[in-house]
Amino acid sequence: MTVKVDVKSFPMFINGQWVASQSGETFDVLNPATGDVVAKVAKGNEADVDNAVEAAKQAFENQEWREMKPKDRANVLNAISHQIVAHAEELVYLEVISSGGTVRRVSSNDILQMADLFQQMASFVVDYPFSETLPVPPFPGPSHNFVWREPIGVCAAITPWNMPMLIASWKIAPALAMGNTIVIKPASYTPLTTLKLAEIISNVVPPGVINVVTGPGKEVGEYLAGHPGVDKIAFTGSTEVGREIMKLASATIKNTTLELGGKSPNILLEDADLEVAIPGSLFGVFLHSGQLCESGTRLFVPDTIYEDVVKALVENAKKLKLGNPLDQETDMGPVVSEKQRDTILSYIETGKKEGATLAYGGNEVTIEGCEGGHFIEPTIFTDVTNDMKIAREEIFGPVLSVIRYSTVEEVIDLANDTIYGLAAGVWTRDVNKAYDITRKLKAGVVWINDWHMLRNDAPFGGYKQSGIGREMGKHSLDAYTQLKHVHTSMVPQVEKRSWYQILFSQPE
């Protein structure tokens, strides 16, 4: 990529304007591929959160925004989609230099998914049942009854660093589709594209509808999550922080959706087509250097084909080219930070100590021209058992645990033996067997002979401690609305209101 963008200074985006933090402080955003500072971003504090929430509150009071006709709202959502396409090159560049995602993935997948998401939401809005009329009841007396779906108010979105602009869009699109306003707190490693998104979206929505506050999770995130002016929280991040968010939300009983971690089981059956299943399983775990919540990190392989599968996995993993994510030839980029690198390497050491066999990788590597970056080889552990730490905890790096099994009943138990339930997968030529196993898997998405295939019209979210609620799909709109039942009496005469006798034993 050759595009050159001024990435040196990013204030916050509040009420349709770029604003410095109240403290005047900034923090550095580093390129994970080189370690270079690529931007200085405003370091927000509680006062900045107050301003952003107030702006969102005022914007929500704007009847024109809140009560916009579905067709007009669909036009706004389509206009956002066009803004994304018009600014695609800049968004892709900023995303790659801050998150370390490869330009091949971000430019072919993320940006298109985002543009399509807003269009998808536009089409949902046109048909959404904003008002439903209930049948006239024979008892206790005739009445007109409606169910109205109304926006919730000010939504707070707290997002992670792994796919920052796509995950922010999963929250922005349904929130705006339903007439809410939003304050987003992106992860501090990757705030650039969320800020840019807010700027381009504000070209087509009133000021205050979208706001971004930047700063540390412990200060800005916590304060936002507990803020009395916030009506809903949509959080994506670790299960550990998700628990904190639930506690903070409880203070004012906020509507809360959580998209959390995973340790997803990938089940290879004996009859699987290995020509597809081997690269498919590696795609499932090594895409974005394993920093995806739905990665298939536990690969279950039958005893009978275990050695052959391991050999093929290693042969295929060797083909993956690590490098600068801005290079179109790169398959795997860096991990996001020094801290994340240390966490991953420490899990690799734990795996060795636990008695797993390191079949491939396991090392940090230096890439020419990217000496300040954090690159880890695709890593394959074999002889892993499901009770080892590397099979139980989310590593969020390029580390695959290959686990043996003998029977289908056993592998279903092993697959479900985790606190998580985000994704799962089955590889087989027998589709009936696949559906039977799918029924028994406790996960929010199950892929049969594939991985990572998310659709904007299908819900995504977790069972168990992988979360509450769903993003994308029609279902996600419900998470940004509240229901109001409206009753209009059709009985004007008091004497005919027999139900008043429940209270008045002697009517006048």
Q: Closest by alpha carbon to 286, among 261, 258, 316, 312?
A: 316
Whose Cβ is closer to ligand NAD: residue 428's or residue 465's?
465
Least distance (Å) between residue 501 CB and ligand NAD: 53
In the DSSP assignment, the letter for residue 218 is I
What contacts 24+ positions apart, CB below 8 Å, involve 131-135? none
Return the closest-CA partner of residue 415 out of 239, 259, 260, 263. Answer: 263
Least separation in angstroms between CB 262 and ligand NAD: 6
Least distance to ligand NAD from the beta carbon of 498, Å?
52
What is the distance between the alpha carbons of residues 473 and 457, in angstroms, rounded to a whole number?
Answer: 4
Residue nearer to ligand NAD on the CB measure, 66 or 474: 474
Please give the full DSSP string across 131-192, using - where no structure is assigned: EEEEPPPSSS--EEEEEEEEE-SEEEEE--SSSHHHHHHHHHHHHHHTT-EEEEE--TTS-H
User: Rule CB under 6 A: which residues touch ligand NAD?
Assistant: 158-162, 167, 185-188, 217-218, 221-222, 225, 236-238, 241, 244-245, 259-262, 293, 394, 396, 422, 462, 467
* Nearest to ligand NAD of 39, 301 (CB atom): 39
Q: How far is the CB of 94 from ligand NAD (least distance, A)?
A: 17
- Measured from the CB of residue 224, what is the shortest distance to ligand NAD in angstroms? 7
- The residues, ordered by sequence, that sit 6+ positions from 295 with a Cβ below 8 Å of its Cβ are 262, 264, 284, 285, 287
Question: 3-state SS string over 245-292?
Answer: HHHHHHCCCCEEEEECCCCCEEEECCCCCHHHHHHHHHHHHHHHHHCC
Cβ-Cβ contacts under 8 Å for 85 (sequence gap 6 or more): 111, 115
* Percent helix / strand / coil, the chain, rounded to 5: 40, 20, 40
Cα dihedral 364, 365, 366, 369 sign: negative
Considering the complex, state which of residue 359 and residue 395 has its C-beta at the smaller distance from ligand NAD. Answer: 395
Query: Which of 354/393 has CB closer to ligand NAD?
Result: 393
Write down the catalytic residue from 95, 244, 259, 471: 259
CB of 100 to ligand NAD, least distance (A): 13
Nearer to ligand NAD, 218 or 389 (CB): 218
**Does the annotation count 259 as an active-site position?**
yes
Which residues are part of the catalytic machinery? 259
